[in-house]
Structure 1
Amino acid sequence: MRRFLFASLFSAIAGAGTAGAATLDSLKWDYRVIAVFTPTQTAGQNAADTLNRTTGIENRDIAWFVVTPEAVQSNQSRSIDRASLTALHEADGFEAVLVGKDGGVKSRQTEELDVDAFFGEIDQMPMRQQEMQQQ
């Protein structure tokens, strides 16, 4: 556990000056964000596989990021500043965080990634309701 936190902190400091990297702020109003923090690469790969297989990510304008001590995986082609992601991580070990298009944290999961629960929350948001009516 301490190793994960130390690695996250070190990576945040080391990656803070990454040129050209997006920040969560730069995604605001364009994307909802699902950030998943896992203590191991294997758990991170499982979360990324789940998100890659999930239909409905694109039409909900979701940018997802899976953060492990070793790497960040995403459905975005542009890299993201690791520090802007790790600032969301509050729990020890696993945590999944849903951030709305307004940049506010909407929900946290600490047991396991439940994409359907996040989709249910997203689909109740007023902005998403408008998007569904316009489709």
Structure 2
Amino acid sequence: MNKVLSAVLASLMLSAPIAGQAQESGATVDDLSVDMIRSAETVTLEEFLWIKRPVVVFADSPADPRYVQQMQYLTSDLHALDLRDVVIITDTNPAERTPARTALRPRGFMLAIIDKDGGVKHRKPLPWDVREISRAIDKMPTRQQEIQERTDGLPRG
């Protein structure tokens, strides 16, 4: 994780407990963010194919107010995103031609939601909160199939 991303995350999180079930287990935002939030400099979108749903946050600077707001939204409920197999990828350096930036070609701030099949499902020029992102993901066919498979495995009674 690069220094800029680390500083932004540290200021956003401050080891706040996660809402919901993770809070009961004592997990903190830091616990999930280590695995869930990655710099675009260290990953490719292809490595998450059929494994995770990348939510990619682009900005021209980590000081962009839209980027700061988006990261606050995302870190406010990492548990809900974790349930949906989300990985958050950040890219705030347009000079660094990362694979994600080359593939998605953002201009300024952009939020991209990518499904496990590698398809870009949403591109947004403004921050979205976790509720909006969760709803968008829950409408995806691959997510619908996951939900169906989980309910099919439950005993009826």
TM-score relative to the length of structure 2:
0.58
Task: Provide closer, same or farther for how the CA distance between residues 90 and 115 of structure 1 changes in structure 2, counting only shifts above 3 A.
Answer: farther
1:104, 1:30 → 2: CA distance? 13
Q: Percent identity?
A: 30
2:70, 2:147 → 1: CA distance? 27
State the 1:39 CA deviation: 2.2
**SS state of the match for residue 106, structure 1?**
strand
Consecutive unaligned residues of structure 2, counting only runs of 5 or more, are 1-40, 152-157
**SS state of the match for residue 93, structure 2?**
coil
Given candidates 107, 121, 132, the residue that maps to 2:136 is 121
2:59–2:109 contact (8 Å) kept in structure 1: yes
1:89–1:95 contact (8 Å) kept in structure 2: no
1:115, 1:28 → 2: CA distance? 22
State the 1:127 CA deviation: 1.6
C-alpha distance after superposition, 1:37-94 (max 9, x if no partner): 1122123344323212124110100001121128xxxxxxxxxxx6221124434211
1:90, 1:117 → 2: CA distance? 23
Letter in 2 for 1:97: A
**SS state of the match for residue 88, structure 2?**
strand
**CA RMSD in angstroms, aligned pairs only:** 2.4
The structure, 1 or 2, with the larger RCO (C-alpha pairs under 8 Å, 6+ apart) is 1
1:40, 1:88 → 2: CA distance? 19
State the 1:114 CA deviation: 3.7
User: 2:83 maps to what in 1?
Assistant: 59
**SS state of the match for residue 98, structure 2?**
helix
Tell whether 2:47 aligns with 1:32. Answer: no
TM-score relative to the length of structure 1:
0.66
User: 1:132 maps to what in 2?
Assistant: 147
State the 1:116 CA deviation: 2.5
Consecutive unaligned residues of structure 1, counting only runs of 5 or more, are 1-17, 71-81
User: 2:62 maps to what in 1?
Assistant: 41
CA radius of gyration, larger in: 2
2:55–2:88 contact (8 Å) kept in structure 1: yes
Query: 57-66 or 106-115: which moved more?
Result: 106-115
Letter in 2 for 1:52: T
State the 1:110 CA deviation: 0.7
State the 1:25 CA deviation: 0.6
